[in-house]
């Protein structure tokens, strides 16, 4: 647990990465703005600066602590130098508390500053609506992704040629195939981490061993995987496993499906 939560993440952040720190910062800034979170933070910090002197010692301490951990957490996201949207989910607990603090302050001051209360509440609602609308759009896009002809084709084959208890493996392509087909991975490596496993011998050995000893019934790859030349040894090892233990059973515009040979 310690290795996965801390050691691996630290080593992961040191992996060669073409993304620049500033570019990742701007990507997440765009993401927060897209969901209305950026304006919520602006309103919060503006209110804290404006009302700070009038707050009790306890409230000052809470808000200072909240600000520090929000910023520190955001810095840990940036250190990865990977603009993955799900990394921002770690900010949700802080944002929830920040929103609660703002609402508490607004409702406690509404009689004294009705205009400020109405304006701030209106801005918060607008920001929240913008986030909800964008969330609906992204969920709709995700649902539509399942209607992609290549993915639908793969899912249909998986559902037809496997039982619900059979295991499959989806290699470095859309992992939603697991969800759409209602099939589980043969190991915990349902999605490989975005690193060169050659630099992590224990993980590489576990991954390759799982493919040999707990072989999935089907393996789905991109169309050119078996013919591509890789510098990563773990990729080459998987190519060898496919050639030795699997046979190609289906190809479409984007993907190939390999089935475990019956004599294995």
> Over 70: is that where the pLDDT of 4 sits?
no
pTM assigned to the model: 0.64
Q: Would you state the pLDDT for residue 199?
A: 83
Highest mean pLDDT among 12-26, 97-111, 139-153, 249-263: 249-263
Task: Quickly tell me which residue has 């990865």 as its tokens.
Answer: 80
Quote the mean pLDDT of the chain: 80
Of 15, 17, 42, residue with least CA distance to 29 = 42
Phi, psi of 52 (to 5 degrees): -55, -45
Predicted local confidence at residue 193, as pLDDT:
76
pLDDT of 213 > 70? The answer is yes
Which residues touch 70 (CB under 8 Å, ≥6 apart)?
41, 91, 94, 95, 98
234 pLDDT band (50/70/90 cuts)?
A: very high
Say if residue 124's pLDDT is above 80: no
Please, are residues 180 and 200 in contact by the beta-carbon 8 Å criterion? no
Lowest model confidence (mean pLDDT) among 19-23, 162-166, 215-219: 19-23
Which 3 state secondary structure label does DSSP give 94? helix
pLDDT for 6 beyond 60: no
The DSSP secondary-structure symbol of 15 reads: S
Task: Please give the pLDDT value at position 30.
Answer: 80
pLDDT above 80: residue 149: no
Q: Which residue has the higher pLDDT, 226 or 53?
A: 226
Structure tokens at 167: 């295991």
Q: CA-CA distance, 25 to 248, in Å (whole number)?
A: 43
Q: What share of the chain is helix, strand, coil (3-state, %, to 5)?
A: 65, 10, 25
Report whether 102 contacts 124 (CB < 8 A): yes
């Amino acid at each position: 647990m310690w290795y996965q939560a801390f050691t691996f993440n630290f080593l992961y952040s040191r992996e060669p990465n073409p993304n620049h720190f500033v570019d990742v910062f701007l990507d997440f800034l765009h993401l927060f703005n897209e969901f209305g979170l950026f304006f919520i933070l602006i309103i919060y910090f503006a209110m804290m600066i404006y009302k700070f002197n009038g707050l009790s010692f306890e409230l000052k301490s809470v808000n200072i602590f909240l600000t520090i951990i929000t910023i520190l957490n955001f810095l840990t996201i940036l250190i990865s130098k990977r603009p993955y949207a799900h990394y921002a989910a770690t900010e949700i607990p802080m944002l929830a508390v920040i929103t609660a603090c703002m609402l508490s302050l607004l409702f406690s001051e509404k009689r004294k500053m009705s205009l400020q209360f109405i304006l701030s509440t209106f801005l918060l609602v607008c920001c929240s609506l913008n986030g909800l609308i964008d969330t609906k759009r992204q969920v709709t896009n995700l649902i539509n992704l399942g209607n992609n002809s290549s993915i639908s084709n793969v899912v249909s084959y998986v559902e037809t040629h496997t039982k619900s208890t059979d295991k499959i493996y989806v290699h470095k392509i859309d992992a939603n195939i697991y969800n759409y087909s209602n099939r589980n991975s043969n190991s915990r490596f349902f999605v490989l981490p975005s690193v060169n496993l050659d630099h992590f011998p224990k993980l590489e050995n576990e991954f390759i061993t799982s493919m040999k000893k707990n072989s999935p019934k089907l393996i789905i790859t991109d169309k050119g995987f078996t013919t591509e030349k890789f510098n990563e040894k773990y990729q080459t090892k998987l190519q060898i496993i496919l050639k030795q233990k699997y046979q190609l059973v289906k190809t479409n515009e984007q993907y190939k499906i390999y089935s475990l040979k019956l004599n294995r």
